[in-house]
Amino acid sequence: MKKALFSSILWPIVSALVIMGLLHLGGDFADIHSYVQPRLGAGLLIFFIVSFGLNFVMDRNYLKILLPIAVILPLLWMGTFTWAYGFASLPEKKHLGDYYVLGGLLFALPYVYTSITGRIRKLKGLWTFIAGLFAFFMLLLPFIYIGYYILFGGEMDMFAMLAVRSTHLKEIKDFLRTMGSPAHIIMAVVAFLFVVSLATAFARRLMKKARSFEGSYLRGDGKGFALGLAVISILFVGGFYRQITHVFPASMIRALNSKGSEFSLLQKLSDNLDKNVKTMAFVLPDPNSGIDEGTHIVIIGESASRDHMKAFTPDYPEETTPWLSEMAKTKDFALGYKAYSNFPNTLFSLSYAMTSASQYGDSSFEDVVSMVDVAKAAGYYTTWISFHNRSSMSSAGVTMIAERCDDSYWEKNYDGYTLDILKRMPKHKKQVIFINIDGSHYTYIARVPVNLRDKLGVSAGDKYHDYDLTIAYDDLVMKEIFEYAKENLNMKSMIYFSDHGENMEHYHTTSPFFYDMVHIPFFVYLSPDYQAAHPELMPVLKAHENQVFTNDLAFDTVTGIWRARTNFYHSKYDWSSKDYFLTMDNATTFERKKKIADDPVWKK
């Protein structure tokens, strides 16, 4: 009994420590707090349940004999997605624990299955075939995931799943003609046969080991052990059946098919953008007149809070924005001191910000166009630079819009790498560059290069040290972008806003909701020559610095500043227009459920 108890405790602890060590090496799990996630906790709990169940029901020698086979599938699944989430920048790290739950249950299944079928003399071939078929699919799925990554340089995400589901015979033939060289076809066949042979060997070895074992599979012959086997069989098989629907690829298929899901919203948005761009028309003056040749830059921040930026909050104890604080004193910058996000998550906030949809007008995504569509129609060459993973559900709305650009760069690097991209990318007389930085995305410290962490002026005793480092780092990044674009790209405007803010305890969620989750930075820079060409702009922008702005009005504001006004533009939603209507009395957030006037900061 003591040995069973000791083994039951030791195995989960050792496994957890190994996993934590591997994730720490990946960089995004920098400290002990990084592991405090419900699904990682569920994974550890399953490890303990499986360990106790097997050690107290199954014979100790039987556990040892099957161990080399039982660990194959869980190691493959947990290894694949530890690599994906920890080292290959797969987004939505909160889902990682789902694969550890699955891994724990996968470890138990060979013991449960063989203890039930191993001594049945009839239909031996059938039991081996079922084991082989199960092994085939559980081997195939991780190999498909890894193979897709190797072939295309990215994960098999929901967009790829949608493409697969939408593919018809002609497209398959076209794909094979363009991508399917004889070498690729041979490799695919060899890989398939390799998986078949592995599954076959797995099943045969498993059943042979089970059938040749002498003695009982259980720790004892009493009815209690038989009952224990029945209980863990139901528990582990049922748990596996449930869990397999929450991981790749079933989770993506469910997202595609779920009515009213986030993806159905995105699909609706994509369809409507294609439809509505055909009805888009410009109002005078014609943006194709050529008077505004040059570069417009739109920088989209991530989880940046103006509460932690000295340029917006002068009494903040840390100087996190030395560059912007200086620029705010000049006549070329206008800062939105009362800027808010329209929603405390990226999917909804940027789906509104980057399109003509808003809380105050069309919130259904029915009659909308995107900022990118307007720029292209106005004759600008559009480029999207992103430091986010294009596969994330949270970034999916932005990804759909980004893919409408003429060119795009999806980088897995620090935000400072923007400068390298700007230097090497082709230059155009009229261009709009969108830069979606990684900003202050959790884990904060992982967003800042190691060699700069002690050089950004953030004191070691700062209560929010790691978060403030990201703010200071991106102030430096924006300075570099600004100075390079001003000297080399004939920059006319640079506009910056964040997707949402950040609460230092609850991050950004819908429940619980705190107003600092929607406190965002927002500024507009106009070059002197652009101001001379459009003298009415900067005085209005300066006059509105202390007027409320919500970032679902970014579309109208940005396209208004570009002078690329379409039939989807509304001057009353444009922060640069004299017609701007938003005040503390009518401004809202959270799909109009929360009034800006109710923000506790205004009650002080």
What average pLDDT does this structure show over 530-547? 97
- Residue 74 has phi, psi (to 5 degrees) of -60, -40
What average pLDDT does this structure show over 528-555? 97
What average pLDDT does this structure show over 302-325? 97
**Angular region, 296: left φ>0, alpha ψ -120 to 50, beta rest:** beta
State which amino acid sits at residue 317: P
Residues of the chain above pLDDT 90, percent: 69
3-state secondary structure 323-337: HHHHHCCCCCEEECC
- For residue 265, name the pLDDT band (cuts at 50, 70, 90): low
Is residue 358 predicted with pLDDT exceeding 60? yes
* Per-residue model confidence (pLDDT) at position 418: 98
177: how many CB neighbours lie within 10 A of its CB?
9
What average pLDDT does this structure show over 547-567? 96
What average pLDDT does this structure show over 182-195? 83
Is residue 258 predicted with pLDDT exceeding 70? no
Is residue 57 predicted with pLDDT exceeding 50? yes
Residue 444 and residue 469 in contact, taking contact as beta carbons nearer than 8 Å:
yes
- Token digits for 382? 């559009």
State which amino acid sits at residue 470: T
Q: DSSP letter string over 490-521?
A: -EEEEEEEES---BTTTBS-SSS--GGGGB--
Which of 31-35, 126-130, 294-298, 393-397 is the least confident region? 393-397
Virtual torsion, Cα 388, 392, 396, 400, nearest 10 deg:
60
What average pLDDT does this structure show over 474-483? 98
Is residue 196 predicted with pLDDT exceeding 90? yes
pTM of the model: 0.69
Is residue 449 predicted with pLDDT exceeding 90? yes
- Token digits for 38? 């419900």
Q: What angle do CA 373, 157, 243 make, to 5 degrees?
A: 140
CA distance 114 to 521: 60
Is residue 561 predicted with pLDDT exceeding 80? yes
* Per-residue model confidence (pLDDT) at position 90: 62
CA distance 347 to 349: 6
Helices 38-57 and 96-117 meet at what angle, rounded to 10? 20
> Between the CA of residue 25 and those of 7, 82, 83, 88, 257, what are the distances in Å?
27, 11, 10, 12, 36
> Between the CA of residue 423 and those of 297, 419, 489, what are the distances in Å?
14, 6, 10
> Between the CA of residue 96 and those of 84, 92, 438, what are the distances in Å?
9, 8, 20
What average pLDDT does this structure show over 435-442? 93
- For residue 188, name the pLDDT band (cuts at 50, 70, 90): confident
CA distance 118 to 217: 9
Q: DSSP letter string over 39-77?
A: HHHHHHHHHHHHHHHHHHHB-HHHHHHHHHHHTHHHHHH
Question: Do the bridges between strand 522-526 and strand 381-386 make them parallel or antiparallel, or are there none, so unpaired?
Answer: unpaired
Is residue 170 predicted with pLDDT exceeding 60? no
What average pLDDT does this structure show over 276-304? 83
Is residue 255 predicted with pLDDT exceeding 80? no
* Per-residue model confidence (pLDDT) at position 175: 47
- For residue 443, name the pLDDT band (cuts at 50, 70, 90): confident
CA distance 507 to 497: 18
3-state secondary structure 238-271: HHHHHHHHHCCCHHHHHHHHCCCCHHHHHHHHHH
CA distance 156 to 164: 10
* Per-residue model confidence (pLDDT) at position 569: 96
pLDDT per position as a tens digit, 60-83: 999 999 999 999 999 999 999 998
Which of 184-193, 424-433, 522-531, 533-542 is the least confident region? 184-193
Assign 448 to helix, strand or coil: coil
| Exposure on the CB side of residue 485, measured as CA atoms within 13 A | 31
- Residue 23 vs residue 163, higher pLDDT: 23
Residues of the chain above pLDDT 70, percent: 89
Average per-residue pLDDT in the chain? 89
The CATH code of the domain at 299-602 is 3.40.720.10
The separation between the first and the last C-alpha atoms of the chain, rounded to the nearest angstrom, is: 63
Is residue 256 predicted with pLDDT exceeding 90? no
- Residue 306 vs residue 250, higher pLDDT: 306
Is residue 560 predicted with pLDDT exceeding 70? yes
What average pLDDT does this structure show over 561-567? 94
Q: What angle do CA 562, 567, 569 make, to 5 degrees?
A: 50
- Residue 279 vs residue 511, higher pLDDT: 279
- Residue 95 vs residue 370, higher pLDDT: 370
Is residue 87 predicted with pLDDT exceeding 90? no
Count the residues in the chain. 604
Virtual torsion, Cα 84, 85, 86, 89, nearest 10 deg:
80
- Residue 43 has phi, psi (to 5 degrees) of -60, -45
Domain coordinates in residue numbering, the chain? 2-256, 299-602
Is residue 168 predicted with pLDDT exceeding 70? no
